[in-house]
C-alpha cells in the first residue's frame, strides 16, 4: 500500500432505516441517518467527528465497519472497495480495523473473563496460535493498557468503568490493527478518568502507528486528539477542516454556533461572552428540510439555501464547508 494513499476513503455514503408510521395503518417512513458523507483518513492520522446527538456520528462509525448496512456510496479500505463485499472479505478487513465502544461495561460479555474477552480476536483471526501463545499476548497487551496479568481471570463486573474501557481498548488492539474507530469512548467516564483514557489512546497511537476515527460531543477533547475535524448535522457533513483552521476560523454557521457554546474557563470572559443561541427546534430526521438541512436554524440563511443542497466545497487550503455563503 502506498504510504500517501488513504487508509480509508468514504464517498457519498448513505445509511437509511425503514421505521413504522405513527398510526396502525400508516405507511413506513425512511430515516436518513447518514446522507452523502465523504471523507478520507490516512495512516497515523486522527479524524475527529463532532455534532449534536442524533446527527449520525455513531451510525457512520458502524457503517464504515459494516456493522450496519449502507444503501449506497463507497467504502474503500486500503484501496479495496468494500461496500457490498461478502463476509469473508470483511473478515479479512476487520483484522486491520477495530472499534472501541461508548459504554465500556455493556460492550464486554459478562460471562467471559478478561483473558477470554481480549483473546477472542486472536482465536478468530489467528487460529494458528496455541492457547499459551494467546494468553501470553493477552497478558502483554493488558500491561500496555495499564492493567496487568493479575486481571486475566477476573470478570467485567469486578472492574470500574475506566478499567472496563481499558479492557475494550486491549481487545481492539490485540490484533495490532491499522485503524481504530472510537465511538465516544470517554463520554460515560468521569472527567479525571477521561483524561487518562485519552492519554492512553494517544500513547498507543504513537507507539503502534494507529489511525483513529474519534467521535465525541466534547469539542475540547476532539481538539486535543485530532488533526482534522468533521462536523455533522442531521446526517450531512457541514464542515471538514484542519484542527487549527476550524477552531480559529470556523466557516460554517453551525460550526460557529457549536464553538460559541463551549464554556470559557475564565469566569470574567465567560460572563462577557456574547452567545448566539440557535433558533428553532432540531428537525426530525424523518422529515428533513429541503435544500440545506441547517437552514431552518441558520441565522444567515437566504433563498438559495432552501432551493438546493450545498456541496462540501473548498473554502481555503485547510477548510471545506457545505454552505452557499462561499459559493
- Is 60 exceeded by the pLDDT of residue 3? no
From CA 295, how far away is CA 297, in angstroms rounded? 5
Query: What digits encode the pLDDT tens for the residues 196-248?
Result: 999 999 999 999 999 999 999 888 889 989 999 999 999 999 999 999 999 99
Judge whether residue 278 has pLDDT over 70: yes
Whole-angstrom distance, CA of residue 171 vs CA of residue 204: 13
pLDDT at 121: 95
Distance from C-alpha of 232 to C-alpha of 83, rounded to nearest angstrom:
22
Instruction: Return the pLDDT at 277.
Output: 67
Q: Express each pLDDT in 105-129 by its tens digit.
A: 899 999 999 999 999 999 999 999 9
4 has pLDDT over 70: no
pLDDT recorded at residue 114? 96
Under 8 Å between Cβ of 186 and 202 = no
Task: Please indicate, yes or no, if residue 265 is contained in any of the structural domains.
Answer: yes
Q: Do 175 and 125 meet the contact criterion of CB atoms below 8 Å apart? A: yes
Please give the pLDDT value at position 267: 74
Range of the domain at 313: 8-96+178-186+210-326
**219 vs 216: CA distance, rounded Å:** 7
- Supply 29's cell numbers: 417512513
- Reported as a single tens digit per residue, the pLDDT across 83-104 is 888 888 998 888 899 999 988 8
pLDDT bin (cut points 50, 70, 90) of residue 28 is confident
Q: Average the pLDDT over 173-193 and give the result.
A: 91
Torsion angle defined by CA atoms of residues 279, 263, 198 and 215, in that order, rounded to the nearest 10 degrees: 10
Domain count, the chain: 1
Residue 149 lies in a domain: no
Within-domain flag for 126: no
Judge contact between 281 and 260, C-beta under 8 A: no
The Cα–Cα gap between 113 and 85 comes to 33
Q: Residue 276 has what pLDDT? A: 67
Kindly report the average pLDDT of the chain as a whole number: 91
CATH number, domain of 55, equals: 3.40.50.300
Residue 280 lies in a domain: yes
Alpha-helical (H) ranges within 261-302 are: 267-272
Task: Band the pLDDT of 145: cuts 50, 70, 90.
Answer: very high
Asked whether residue 312 is domain-assigned, the answer is yes
Strands (E), the chain: 8-19, 29-41, 46-50, 72-77, 80-81, 97-100, 179-183, 211-215, 228-233, 236-242, 313-314, 319-321
pLDDT at residue number 247: 92
Domain-embedded: residue 30 = yes
Q: What is the pLDDT of residues 149-164, one digit of tens each?
A: 899 999 999 999 999 9
Question: Could you give the count of Cα atoms lying within 13 Å of 32 in the half-sphere of its Cβ?
Answer: 17
Q: How far is CA 321 from CA 241, 293, 310, in A?
A: 8, 13, 9
Amino acid at each position: 500500500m502506498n504510504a500517501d494513499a488513504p487508509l480509508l476513503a468514504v464517498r457519498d455514503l448513505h445509511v437509511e432505516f425503514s421505521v413504522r408510521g405513527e398510526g396502525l395503518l400508516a405507511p413506513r417512513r425512511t430515516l436518513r441517518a447518514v446522507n452523502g458523507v465523504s471523507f478520507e483518513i490516512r495512516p497515523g492520522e486522527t479524524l475527529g467527528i463532532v455534532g449534536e446527538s442524533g446527527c449520525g456520528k455513531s451510525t457512520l462509525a458502524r457503517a464504515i465497519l459494516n456493522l450496519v448496512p449502507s444503501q449506497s456510496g463507497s467504502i474503500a479500505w486500503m484501496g479495496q472497495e468494500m461496500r457490498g463485499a461478502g463476509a469473508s472479505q470483511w473478515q479479512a478487513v476487520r483484522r486491520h480495523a477495530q472499534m472501541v465502544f461508548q459504554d465500556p461495561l455493556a460492550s464486554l460479555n459478562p460471562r467471559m473473563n478478561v483473558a477470554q474477552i481480549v483473546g477472542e480476536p486472536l482465536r478468530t483471526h489467528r487460529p494458528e496460535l496455541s492457547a499459551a501463545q494467546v494468553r501470553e499476548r493477552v497478558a502483554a497487551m493488558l500491561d500496555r493498557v495499564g492493567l496487568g496479568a493479575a486481571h486475566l481471570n477476573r470478570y467485567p463486573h469486578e472492574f470500574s468503568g475506566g478499567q472496563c474501557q481499558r479492557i475494550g481498548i486491549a481487545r481492539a488492539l490485540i490484533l495490532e490493527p491499522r485503524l481504530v474507530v472510537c465511538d465516544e469512548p470517554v463520554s460515560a467516564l468521569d472527567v479525571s478518568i477521561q483524561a487518562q483514557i485519552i492519554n492512553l489512546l494517544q500513547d498507543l497511537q504513537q507507539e503502534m502507528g494507529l489511525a483513529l476515527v474519534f467521535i465525541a460531543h466534547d469539542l475540547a477533547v476532539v481538539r486535543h486528539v485530532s488533526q482534522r475535524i468533521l462536523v455533522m448535522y442531521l446526517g450531512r457533513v457541514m464542515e471538514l477542516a484542519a484542527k487549527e483552521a476550524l477552531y480559529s476560523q470556523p466557516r460554517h454557521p453551525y460550526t460557529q454556533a457549536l464553538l460559541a457554546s463551549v464554556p470559557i474557563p475564565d469566569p470574567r470572559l465567560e460572563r462577557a461572552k456574547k452567545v448566539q443561541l440557535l433558533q428553532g427546534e432540531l428537525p426530525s430526521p424523518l422529515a428533513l428540510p429541503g435544500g440545506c438541512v441547517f437552514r431552518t436554524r441558520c441565522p444567515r440563511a437566504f433563498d438559495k439555501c432552501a432551493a438546493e443542497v450545498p456541496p462540501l466545497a473548498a473554502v481555503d487550503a485547510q477548510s471545506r464547508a457545505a454552505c452557499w455563503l462561499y459559493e
